[in-house]
Amino acid sequence: MAREAVVPKSKVAQAKAQTQSANERMPVSMEGVTHSYAQGIIRVNVPMLPNGSSCELYVYSAAGALVYRGTAVVGTNEISITHCADGVYLVKAVVGENTSAWKIVKR
């Protein structure tokens, strides 16, 4: 009877297995915001979404107040913050368990 040894994956192998490209993990990018400054329109590009997942977008003021919440579609999504005062805002995109955030300054 042959014996079979089960060797657990090393930590390096486990880390490599868990590592995915940034685009696979979070296929969302900011565009139309030069040097993180916005005039009131923020463009969020969603080139693809994994099957069955959605992309939720949030914009928070520096004080933590939620000023925008919406669901993004594949393609370019525009968020208007023209009604908001000039200042620092946090744009957060959530796809499944992955989150990306960008700081922008509205002037």
Q: Is residue 58 part of a domain?
A: yes
The per-residue pLDDT for 10 is 56
Q: Is residue 95 part of a domain?
A: yes
pTM: 0.69
Q: Is residue 67 part of a domain?
A: yes
Q: Is residue 10 part of a domain?
A: no
Tell me how many domains the chain contains. Answer: 1
Query: pLDDT means per 10 residues in the chain (107 residues)?
Result: 52 48 56 59 87 91 97 90 93 90 89
The per-residue pLDDT for 41 is 87
Q: Is residue 33 part of a domain?
A: yes
CATH number at residue 35: 2.60.40.1930
The per-residue pLDDT for 20 is 45
What does the pLDDT look like over 63-75, one tens digit per residue?
999 999 999 998 8
Neighbours of 25 (CB within 10 A): 15
Q: Is residue 7 part of a domain?
A: no
The per-residue pLDDT for 9 is 54
Nearest to 72 by CA among 87, 90, 92, 86: 92
- Supply the range of the domain harboring residue 41: 25-106
Q: Is residue 71 part of a domain?
A: yes
